[in-house]
Structure 1
Amino acid sequence: MADVLDEKWLIEESAAQALVEILSRQQGENYKVFMHSDRPDIVIENQIDGTRLGVEVTHLFYDSEEARYVFGRSREPDHPPAPEYIEGYVRRLNALLQQKSEKAKGYNHEYPLALLIRVVSPLFHMCNFQVYSSSIVVPPSDFQIIWLLFYDFVQRRWTLLKRLR
């Protein structure tokens, strides 16, 4: 169980580090991970003015087989990059947004909340979201900001951030 918790911590930390790098670069501010917690997963802090933001980190996969593949626990999933596959991804995103919005109601937070969804599929990318953006349903929630984080295959880093709210 400790290995699973350590892996979860590392995955969350990696996503949070990518977020603080992007925000620092975009806003000319100096953000850092302030602490790990449970609800939300991460708290980041603006080093200029001391403001903090609680960040719930989650990951978007098509299904459990794709998740196992991405984490090196399975052979490549058998999903063709077809329109119905992309539509299934949007359905999974909508379900994840609903699930996390419900979960956030129970958070006791002293600073604004954000949701960071790292899109880890090797077949689903930002261009797909631009095409299907009208199908994405962002429910009301305590999250003031909702981001999608994508991998930039040119820069070979997590650098593409799309804001849904």
Structure 2
Amino acid sequence: MNKYEEEKKALEQAAIDIFLELYNVNNPIALRMVRQQEKPDALLEDANNEQIGLEVTHLFYDMEEARRMMSRSELTKPGAEVLDNFIKVINNRIASKEQKLQDYSHDYPCMLLIRNVSLLFGMSDVLSFKHKLVPPSGWFTQVWLLSRDFTPDWLLINLYDVGGGGMK
């Protein structure tokens, strides 16, 4: 495994750990990780020994934001037009992951975890534009958004549950 793959696996593992911690606090049937793998990125299991896959993706707004974040430059709060573009990025990421999921093993259902690592957009930004979220095609049983909201604390929501004119 090369350095890039090692870093990618470490990012995925961190996202899975945060997800499981928040999920298990807020759901009556706890999940645990069986193993990290490829296609999907993790195999989870609940207390009833039911297995479910977890595909993980990390979301920056764009490569320019990634560069600005790495250089630690001052970031200013973007306007509504830029936020609208970020919602399009989320919609495109879900659609692209759904396409990839069709090639995966279907021995168990699969969820999608989107970890928002953007410094420009928080959970409240996404929720304020929830009416623009496009409902997934149903390949994933749940689509989770893991995001901060300009605090150190991570928040987790199922995008299928946000209501509005978007996902249901």
- Residue 159 of structure 2 corresponds to 164
Deviation at 1:81, TM superposition (A): 1.6
- Residue 40 of structure 2 corresponds to 40
**Which whole-Å CA distance do the structure 2 matches of 1:139 and 1:24 have between them?**
24
Query: Gapped runs of 5+ residues in structure 1?
Result: none
Mapped contact 2:122–2:150 kept (Cα < 8 A):
no
- Residue 7 of structure 2 corresponds to 7
Work out whether 1:85 is the aligned partner of 2:82. Answer: yes
**Which whole-Å CA distance do the structure 1 matches of 2:84 and 2:74 have between them?**
17
Pair 14,82 (structure 1): closer, same or farther in 2 beyond 3 Å: same
- Determine helix, strand or coil for the equivalent of 2:55: strand
**Which whole-Å CA distance do the structure 2 matches of 1:146 and 1:30 have between them?**
17
**Which whole-Å CA distance do the structure 1 matches of 2:53 and 2:67 have between them?**
28
**Which whole-Å CA distance do the structure 1 matches of 2:131 and 2:149 have between them?**
23
Query: Gapped runs of 5+ residues in structure 2?
Result: 161-168
Match for 2:135 among 134, 138, 148? 138
Q: In the comparison of the two structures, how many residue pairs are matched?
A: 160
Mapped contact 2:143–2:159 kept (Cα < 8 A):
yes
Pair 61,28 (structure 1): closer, same or farther in 2 beyond 3 Å: same
Over residues 117-139 of structure 1, what are the superposed CA-to-partner deviations in whole Å (9 max), with x where a residue is unaligned? 01111121111122111111123
- Residue 147 of structure 1 corresponds to 144
Mapped contact 2:124–2:149 kept (Cα < 8 A):
no
RMSD of the TM alignment (CA)?
2.0
Pair 80,30 (structure 1): closer, same or farther in 2 beyond 3 Å: closer
Q: TM-score, normalised by structure 2?
A: 0.85
What stretches of structure 1 move > 4 A for 4+ residues in a row?
77-80
- Residue 26 of structure 1 corresponds to 26
Pair 152,87 (structure 1): closer, same or farther in 2 beyond 3 Å: closer
